[in-house]
């Protein structure tokens, strides 16, 4: 993998970076020169850094996700994103590699379409105003999320980190786009997967039980918790730990049966859970109807 930075220059007070990037199409790589400017950090975390920049050729805003690349392996996120093409999934435009401060350090840079808002920020805005998100918006966002999930599940991909922060929104059009495929994976029946995946409030119970043979249904659970959060104005299953999380789930859905526990993780089938009846959904969601 060659480091593909060509130049950095200052033009009219704007720093312009030019790189040799690959067009993000599945198949043979086609390399082109890409110039961008006005770069600034808009997000960071354990995954790396996200920059907002503008393509010089058309002034189009883009997000550049920069992650450390292990030279021994192919990047799973890149391999998956090159396969995806859907109106409700953020588009990968180009990608390129760059060096780091340390010797032999290599970074993968994903140039993605930029979508300015997230469902998380929209929900927080309404919460601060002590208002509920209009039901029409909840329906609009959830319909588009499930369209995206139907598409990726149809080709065998599980996102594994559905949460409001990963749901981008164009406020002008109302279009939702699913982003951040850093945890995504092709699920193969019989092949074990890590159980510590997905953000806590949105984790399916089988993940809390340590299951390693889960299916795409964990995304559906997460999507359901997102919908409940939009209706309630707060997470439906908040918890400070895995145990707390499970308690919150049981408070609403009741104690799981032995058969349900067996299907999630046979090691827990004899565990004694407090016997709690399911809470009626009309009462759970009553605050959303006021």
Cite the annotated binding site for ATP by residue number. 66
Q: Are 50 and 67 in contact (CB under 8 A)?
A: no
Distance from C-alpha of 57 to C-alpha of 172, rounded to nearest angstrom: 24
Nearest-Å Rg of the Cα atoms of the chain is 21
Q: Spell 67-92 as b/e; 16+ CB within 10 A means b.
A: bebeeeeebebbebbbebeeebbbbb
Distance from C-alpha of 116 to C-alpha of 177, rounded to nearest angstrom: 11
Neighbours of 17 (CB within 10 A): 18
Burial class (CB in 10 A: 0-12, 13-18, 19+), 194: exposed
Phi-psi region of 59 (alpha: psi -120 to 50; beta: other; left: phi over 0): left
For the chain, the distance separating the N- and C-terminal CA atoms, rounded to the nearest angstrom, is 57
The partner residues of 10 in beta bridges, in order of sequence, read 15
Which residues are catalytic, by number?
161
Q: Are 175 and 113 in contact (CB under 8 A)?
A: no
Structure tokens at 57: 């050729």
């Amino acid at each position: 993998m060659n480091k593909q930075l060509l130049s950095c220059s200052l033009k009219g007070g704007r720093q312009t970076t030019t790189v040799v990037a690959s067009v993000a199409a599945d198949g043979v790589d086609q390399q082109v020169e890409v110039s961008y400017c006005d770069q600034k950090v808009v997000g960071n975390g354990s995954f790396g850094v996200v920059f907002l920049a503008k393509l010089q050729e058309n002034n189009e805003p883009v997000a550049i996700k920069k992650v450390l690349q292990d030279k021994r392996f192919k990047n799973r996120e890149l391999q998956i994103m090159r396969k995806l093409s859907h109106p409700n999934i953020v588009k990968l435009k180009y990608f390129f590699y760059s060096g780091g401060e340390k010797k032999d350090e290599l970074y993968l840079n994903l140039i993605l379409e930029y979508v300015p808002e997230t469902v998380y920020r929209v929900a927080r805005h309404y919460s601060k105003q002590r208002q509920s998100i209009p039901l029409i918006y909840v329906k609009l966002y959830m319909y588009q999320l499930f369209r995206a999930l139907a598409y990726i599940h149809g080709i065998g991909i599980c996102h594994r980190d559905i949460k409001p922060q990963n749901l981008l929104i164009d406020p002008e059009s109302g279009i939702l786009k699913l982003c951040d495929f850093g945890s995504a994976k092709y699920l193969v029946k019989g092949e074990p997967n890590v159980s510590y995946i997905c953000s806590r409030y949105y984790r399916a119970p089988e993940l809390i039980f340590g299951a390693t043979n889960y299916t795409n249904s964990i995304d559906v659970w997460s999507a359901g918790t997102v919908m409940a959060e939009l209706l309630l104005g707060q997470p439906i299953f908040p918890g400070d730990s895995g145990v707390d999380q499970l308690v919150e789930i049981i408070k609403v859905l009741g104690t799981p049966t032995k058969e349900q526990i067996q299907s999630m993780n046979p090691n827990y089938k004899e565990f004694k859970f407090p016997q709690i009846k399911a809470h009626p959904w009309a009462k759970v969601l009553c605050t959303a109807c006021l």
